Amino acid sequence: MITQALILSKFDQRDGPGLYISIPRLDHEDKGIIEFISKCMDLMHQEGYFLNMSGDIITANYYFEITNQGVRGKRDMGLLTLMFHVVGGEGQVKSEIAEFSRLQEAYLRDLVMKIKRDVIITRNGLFSERSKPRLKRLLALHFRIISINNFPLFAKPTGSLADFWIMSTSSIEPMPVFLAMRDRVCSSGTVTLKTQVMRTFLLQVKAHVYNCHGMLDGNGDEGGPCQACMQVHEMVKGMIYLFNAGDINAKHEILETCTHLSTMEIPTLKPMLLLGIINGNDHVDSTDLVHGTQSIMQHLRKLRKYFSLLHVEHVDLEDIDTMVKVIKFLINLVL
């Protein structure tokens, strides 16, 4: 049996090292694991990554510090740990997990950078009660991403990371485009942390494809809120609108759709990603993309208040590198 967890430990100037947050939560039966991880705090005196193995426990760790004028020593000291506890496993299994753990330095470093850039955490202190809910959400999402990176030893969790409403201009079929992106990432021959996270995210996203072609509500009142759109809007985390990046007239359909969505009587604003699609055979000049983006945002300037975020990106279905920024943007929306 393999137990895994993503853990944030703290070093208290008075009480010494101790576990602060664990995803999933470790219980009293895991006392040995908790003590082992607490001792890892004593191994590092400067920020950085290290791997530690002892018996059935394998940990990938990243020690870091954040300035905090309100505490003794003027700094918060934390340790992020990706822990694997292998009970009754064969030597080969432990060897594979150890090798997998060695690849997680970039993953843990990126998570540390995200923590350090978080305004709520840096303002209130790493281990303040105000920061704790935010830290729990960050660790929970990142643990879910890392724990299903197609590593064959781990069972994939049920459910989805996020639900998105996928819509498009009339010249694009939304679902084939979404599936093409997913297949391109999943068929990538080079497995890196980047492709692992992208693959995991796309496999765990639930797409609600719906293009509303009516501007009437259920009562036939022109300009009223569309009940069908309101129902989809209520169940999703955000919206993705696909358009042909080379179509100069796409902005008119985008404007029409955003205007339609602005009529909804909703209590919570949600983000909209306008995603320009470039097929591998299309030759779209980068200057044209910039001008196209500026033109779209200019057309939508009066509608921005109806969305928590209105953003334009472009992706080439044949170029996996262009997908990185888009998927990173979507992951940040989930956070």
Nearest to 51, CA basis, from 95, 15, 29, 81: 81
Q: Stretch 288-294: mean pLDDT, rounded?
A: 80
Q: How far is CA 30 from each of CA 5, 37, 85, 101, rounded to the nearest angstrom?
A: 11, 11, 10, 20
What pLDDT was estimated at residue 221? 45
Residue that wins the pLDDT comparison between 156 and 1 = 1
> Residue for token digits 């989809």?
232
CB 226 within 8 A of CB 263: yes
**Res 220: pLDDT:** 39
What φ, ψ does residue 163 adopt, rounded to 5°? -105, 130
Domains of the chain: 2-146 (3.30.450), 162-334 (3.40.50.300)
Q: Which residue's structure tokens are 């209520």? A: 234
**Long-range Cβ pairs for the range 35-44 (8 Å, 24+):** 37/7, 37/9, 37/79, 37/81, 37/83, 38/9, 40/9, 40/79, 40/81, 41/9, 41/11, 41/17, 41/77, 41/79, 42/17, 44/79
Contact (Cβ atoms closer than 8 angstroms) between residue 266 and residue 190: no
Question: Per mean pLDDT, which range of 187-196, 286-295, 311-320 is the poorest?
Answer: 187-196
What is the three-class DSSP state of 107?
Answer: helix
pLDDT interval class at 5 (50, 70, 90): confident
Q: Distance between CA atoms of 117 and 111, rounded to whole angstroms? A: 10
Band of residue 157 on the pLDDT scale cut at 50, 70, 90: very low
Lowest mean pLDDT segment, chosen from 76-85, 99-108, 250-259, 295-304:
99-108
pLDDT given for residue 74 in this prediction:
83
Contacts of 19 (CB under 8 A, 6+ apart): 7, 8, 9, 26, 34, 37, 38
- Per-residue pLDDT tens over the stretch 98-139: 776 776 787 788 889 989 999 999 899 998 999 999 999 888
> pTM (2 decimals)?
0.56
**48 beta partners:** 63
The strand pairing partners of 243, in sequence order, are 276
166 Cβ contact list (under 8 Å, min separation 6): 174, 175, 178, 207, 208, 209, 210, 239, 240, 242
Token pair in block for residue 111: 């998570």
* Mean pLDDT for all residues in the chain: 78
Query: Does the structure show a pLDDT above 90 at 156?
Result: no
Give residue-wise pLDDT tens across range 209-253: 888 865 434 443 445 668 888 889 988 989 999 998 888 788 888
7-21 pLDDT tens trace = 898 887 666 677 889
Better-scored residue on pLDDT, 5 or 192: 5
Alpha helices by DSSP H, the chain: 31-40, 91-102, 105-117, 119-124, 132-146, 174-186, 193-204, 227-235, 250-261, 286-299, 321-334
Task: Calculate mean pLDDT across residues 185-201.
Answer: 64
